[in-house]
Homo-oligomer: A and B are copies of this chain.
Amino acid sequence: MNYVEVCLSPADYPLYRENFELVVVIDVLRATSAICTALENGVERIKPVASVSEAEHWQLQGHIGAAERNGEIVQGFDLGNSPIAYIQRKEELAGKSVVLTTTNGTKAIDIASEKDTVVIGALNNLDALCNWLLDQNQNVLVLASGWKDKFNLEDTICAGAIADQLIESGRFKADEDSTIAAKFIYRSARDNMFAFLRASSHRRRLRRLNLNEDVKYCLTPNNLSTIPILRDGYLVRLNEKKVPSDLHKSTSRARA
């Protein structure tokens, strides 16, 4: 029996990191949703970096630059972390290397990169990710990126969804109250996440920026099947060799 536990924010990571060599990083609004979308839509690889200056450096090395701070695209970049933008610019981005820095998600990836295996989770790739995790026979730590090290609701819901699927399989168990709480919040929210998140601080932030379409997209479970994995400093498609990604855009267990 393996453990699946939820770490509610990067600030708490040092308290939870022990006993895990596989970490799932979650930043539903919007970094990890965008990463899954970009790779599924043909981007070759994404270099996640913590700072804007690192992103500028890799942009000069020929990467397409993507940078977001406080919900907006950073000056000097023409992509941020809008998943819809990666779909709209699919042809232009196909086969390209992208460097990405965001307020929360890429920092969480950076923190987790000490571990053997780092994969990227979102509601968009929920079932594909859970099915893969079920085959790994490893303890799983789900790391919510939060907002500037604070707890947030949408990442907690997604982390709870992953914990819930793994625990329900009977092959995983949880010991931490954070995991119990995340699972509980997910179960309460799952039938209407958009309404549940009405009051959340980040959704209010994105609404001010006219990003409701992005929010709706990010809250759609199982419209993607790509599992991004960190290899040699780049996020790439874990499952590329096995199944062409456009053959299984939906799964039988999709709840959307």
Contacts and interface: CB of A to CB of B under 8 A. Distances in A.
B200 A12 contact: no
A16 to B, nearest CB: 8
Given A185-B184, A188-B184, A12 B150 contact: yes
A161 interface: no
Contacts of A156: 177, 181
Interface in A1-25: 8-9, 11-12, 15-16
A178 B178 CA distance: 12
- At the interface, is chain A mostly helix, strand, loop or mixed? helix
Interface residues of A, number: 27
A88 B185 CA distance: 39
Nearest to A203: B177
B177 A8 contact: no
Interface string A133-167: 00000000000000111111100100000000000
A149 B201 contact: no
A199 B185 contact: no
B9 A12 contact: yes
A177 B149 contact: no
Nearest to A198: B180
A179 to B, nearest CB: 9
A153 B183 CA distance: 12
B8 A15 contact: no
7 contacts: A12-B12, A12-B150, A15-B149, A150-B176, A153-B181, A156-B177, A184-B188
Given A8-B151, A11-B15, A151-B176, 7 more contacts: A12-B12, A12-B150, A177-B200, A177-B201, A181-B185, A184-B185, A188-B188
